[in-house]
Amino acid sequence: MNRTGQPPGRSDPLVRALDQAAQALRAGRPTEAERFAAPVLAAEPDNLLAAQVLGTALLMQGRPADAVEPLERAARRSADPSTGIYFARALAAVGRRDEALAQLRECAAQRPPFVQAFLELGDQLGEAGHHDEAAEVFETGLSLLPEAAVLRIGLGYVYLRRNDRTKARELFMQVREAAPERRDAAIALGRVMALDGETAAAVDLFRLALSSLPRDPLVCIELGKCLLDLGERESGEAMIRAGSRGPAQWGPALRSLAAGAYGRMFLRPSSAARFLES
């Protein structure tokens, strides 16, 4: 079998379409990937790769309800844990949390261990408020994959949700010391420092994180809040505006503006929208 799941030597329009779909998906063009993969799966319902590509493309477009069926079809026949993870994400996005967790537990039980399975399972458990179980998942993952810094960061966030900032800081610092270039560790440590009142140090870390991804909206907002706390109102508000590019970020942006001693409050939503869009 070749990489399209078809017999060697086969060359027909469906094979070419599936290859184009896979290339589009790898290039981050999910709409194009859907356009090529959907006819292949309709013509060949047992085509594993077509189901994987179509389901992933639909999920990337924010259409989890449409993605569930093809991803389930692929996950039931594939030994690839990444397919199961995408299926679990679709399930969680449509409110089927218990099924999503069950799917992720299957992925985490596979060997050799797959780091993303532990990360996804721990994150979903944490979001559901199951902090003890989430910590256990991350610790199990680290026992099998001790060099997986992303699991150490995930475990740190579990402690942060428990408001155990000392333990969270310790874990984030371990990652920073081992790999100073990691932006996820810089962001995580910056959040702890901001909560602990080490605002200037948090500003340095958030700026470091933005140096590699300048338009990260949540980091812009967090940096803006820190600048406001330092009394740098003009630069703080400018940074919060930079992070609020659309209604999806307006909630965090407005909470950051209102939280500090140098912040703002708006009596009308229209006034807030005009301020953020100005």
pLDDT in tens, 121-150: 999 999 899 999 999 999 999 999 999 999
Q: Kindly report the length of the chain.
A: 278
Three-class SS of residue 128?
coil
Closest CA to 210 of 235, 177, 229: 235
Highest mean pLDDT among 61-70, 245-254, 264-273: 61-70
Three-class SS of residue 60?
helix
Higher pLDDT among residues 249 and 98, named by residue: 98
**Amino acid identity of 48?**
L
How many percent of the chain have pLDDT more than 90? Answer: 71
Closest CA to 154 of 180, 122, 116: 122
pLDDT for residue 243: 75
Query: Residue 8: exposed, middle, or buried by beta-carbon count in 10 A (0-12, 13-18, 19+)?
Result: exposed
What's the mean pLDDT when you consider all of the chain? Answer: 87
pLDDT band at 270 (very low <50, low <70, confident <90, very high): low
Mean pLDDT across 151-158: 97
Query: Which residue reads 């994987």 in tokens?
Result: 52
pLDDT band at 255 (very low <50, low <70, confident <90, very high): low
Mean pLDDT across 142-161: 96
Higher pLDDT among residues 268 and 214, named by residue: 214
Does residue 20 surpass a pLDDT of 90?
yes
**Residue 263, both tokens:** 């912040």
How many percent of the chain have pLDDT more than 70? Answer: 84
Mean pLDDT across 36-44: 94
pLDDT band at 238 (very low <50, low <70, confident <90, very high): confident
pLDDT for residue 78: 87
CATH architecture of 15-107: Alpha Horseshoe (1.25)
Q: Where are the beta strands (DSSP E) in the chain?
A: none
Mean pLDDT across 166-171: 97
Q: Which of 6-10, 14-18, 247-251, 255-259 has the weakest average pLDDT?
A: 6-10
Mean pLDDT across 159-172: 96
**Cα–Cα distance for residue pair 24/57, rounded to 1 Å:** 9
Measured at the CA of 87, the angle between CA 82 and CA 91, to 5 degrees, comes to 145
Q: What is the CATH number of domain 111-115+122-194?
A: 1.25.40.10
